[in-house]
Amino acid sequence: MFSVLLVDDEAASIRYLRNLVTSFSPSFEIAAECENGQDALAVLNERPVDVLITDVKMPIMDGIALAQEARGLYPDLHIIIVSGYAEFEYAKSALEVAAEDYLLKPLSIDQSRKVLQAVEKKLVRRRRTARKAALNSLIASGRLGENEAAVLGDLNFFAGLVRFGNLSPLSLGQHEPFQSGGPLEGDPELLWVLQGRDQAEFIILAEQGPLSVDDILAATGTEPSQAAYTMVIQKSYCQPKHLRKCVEEMVRYLDEKLLMGKTRVYFVPPYDRKGYRNFSKSELLKLDFAIASGDDSQVKDTLLNWAVQWDEQEMPQRWAELAVTSIVQRSLELLQHDTVNHMEVFGEINRLYASAESAEDLMNGVWDIVFEPYVEAKSKRRSSQDVYEQIVRFIEENYPENLTIDNVCSVFGISQTYLSRLFRTHGETTFNEYLTKCRIGNAKRLIEQNPDIKLSDVAFLVGYESSSYFGKVFRSSEGMTPSQYATEQKEKKAK
């Protein structure tokens, strides 16, 4: 509730103001009523209020002097001046010095409602911003200071944690939780959306009742089908002083439970913690035998069999990271290739976790990064440069078709990880960037040949079903729209 101080020397005016306030602003409560500015100033010296509504003409101390004194005491106080037409010019000086709005006597219901509701909206926004800042500070520091305690009052919160996609690899270091903070725009009413450890993670706090999955997705602006996510949702409320510990516990639980590429929701407490055995040395011996056999298919089968088991047993990402690290270290020791930079290999392995949709997907990437180069060298297969050039020719010949990374990989019998590495190594670009460059280059050629061609036809001929999307891509690439480019070509031909 927001507290209101009413000041007027006429009892009838006070009653009327009281009725207006209670009728049009349900979040306002009357803190005190005074007959003159001096009495009102005494109230303000004892305690703050959120809104001061004062008449101009009063004995002892008038409303203008009161407004100026009140503004000095409380710079953020909302002040509304009430005046008759006769003293309106005088009252305007109050607006310039201290007041934010005014009401003219005789008081109009419509005008009063508009002014009161406008002030109420300002107060709600200011309180919300202050609470958001206090929550960020509290979660980041773990300390409930005097300011945070005053702003949050006796509020209790139901907490939810959501992470979209996978975790950052442990080998890249642990992030200090929740240091980014900062209000996110567009929080739903009575929900607070705070940044988690990075841009893929959010903390949702609710003032009223436990959160649902739909609440969290709506608060983060995410459709259920957009991405895999992991949620941890508190079933009981948490007091502000315990909020940091509560969120830290949820983060630890999320890290223990997250499955690559899978959507899971956990309601806590209780925290159901399952123990997992470490990836054993006896399992690694299978890899030793497979590599020693010289049978590449046996090596790959060993890796993929492990991955299938992990997916079936729902082994979490953190467990898989430790297992993969052991596998890669052992593989590099056994393969003993002097030209391989181990740090670069592990760097590429770390990048796999961002997009891996399963343990099998992850292990296919491990094969491509660790073993594929050796298989190529040993069997004297075509060089990676040859593969890259064949793919480039394929794109240039088929760019009008619905080309995707998936179907190109299928055509050439390679993985997405290997394809991405080919473009990064030999083209210093990505597959999508090269495909876009090819399409836009051919679109320019078509326009140059015939500036009067329909742009929707150009879009279709170079592989875009949507002409509006084609226009956005063209402008992003060339700094102008297709129609502007066509006009430019017409002018060149006219010269």
pLDDT in tens, 227-281: 799 999 999 988 888 888 898 899 999 999 999 999 999 999 998 888 888 888 8
Same domain, residue pair 365 and 422: no
Same domain, residue pair 453 and 480: yes
CA distance 9 to 122: 28
Mean pLDDT across the stretch 135-159? 79
Same domain, residue pair 371 and 406: no
Question: Strand, coil or helix: what is 250?
Answer: helix
- Boundary residue ending a domain (320, 346, 381): 381
- Boundary residue ending a domain (107, 142, 169): 107
Mean pLDDT of the chain: 85
Q: Examine residue 322 and state whether it is found in any structural domain, yes or no.
A: yes
Do the Cβ atoms of 207 and 230 come closer than 8 Å? no
Question: Strand, coil or helix: what is 155?
Answer: coil
The β-bridge partners of 266 are: 232
Question: Strand, coil or helix: what is 350?
Answer: helix
Same domain, residue pair 414 and 393: yes
Kindly give, in sequence order, each residue whose CB lies less than 8 Å from that of residue 92, ignoring residues fewer than 6 positions away.
none
Burial profile 437-452: b = 16 or more Cβ within 10 angstroms, e = fewer: ebbbebbbebbeeebe
Same domain, residue pair 391 and 377: no
Same domain, residue pair 412 and 331: no
Same domain, residue pair 308 and 361: yes
Kindly give, in sequence order, each residue whose CB lies less than 8 Å from that of residue 118, ignoring residues fewer than 6 positions away.
101
Do the Cβ atoms of 459 and 420 come closer than 8 Å? no
pTM above 0.75, yes or no: no
Range of the domain at 439: 387-494
Order across the sheet with 2-7: list the strands: 28-34, 2-7, 51-55, 78-84, 101-105
**What pLDDT is stored for residue 184 in this prediction?**
41
Q: Could you give the number of structural domains in the chain?
A: 4
Kindly give, in sequence order, each residue whose CB lies less than 8 Å from that of residue 301, ignoring residues fewer than 6 positions away.
290
- Boundary residue ending a domain (329, 361, 381): 381
Q: Examine residue 230 and state whether it is found in any structural domain, yes or no.
A: yes
CA distance 419 to 223: 30
CATH number, domain of 41, equals 3.40.50.2300
CA distance 303 to 308: 9
User: Which of 105-114, 192-201, 309-318, 331-340 has the lowest average pLDDT?
Assistant: 331-340
Do the Cβ atoms of 478 and 447 come closer than 8 Å? no
Express each pLDDT in 379-415 by its tens digit: 444 567 888 888 999 999 889 988 888 888 878 777 8
Q: Residue 142 corresponds to which amino acid?
A: G
CA distances from 50 to 53, 95, 344 (A): 10, 17, 60
Same domain, residue pair 254 and 285: no
Do the Cβ atoms of 9 and 58 come closer than 8 Å? yes
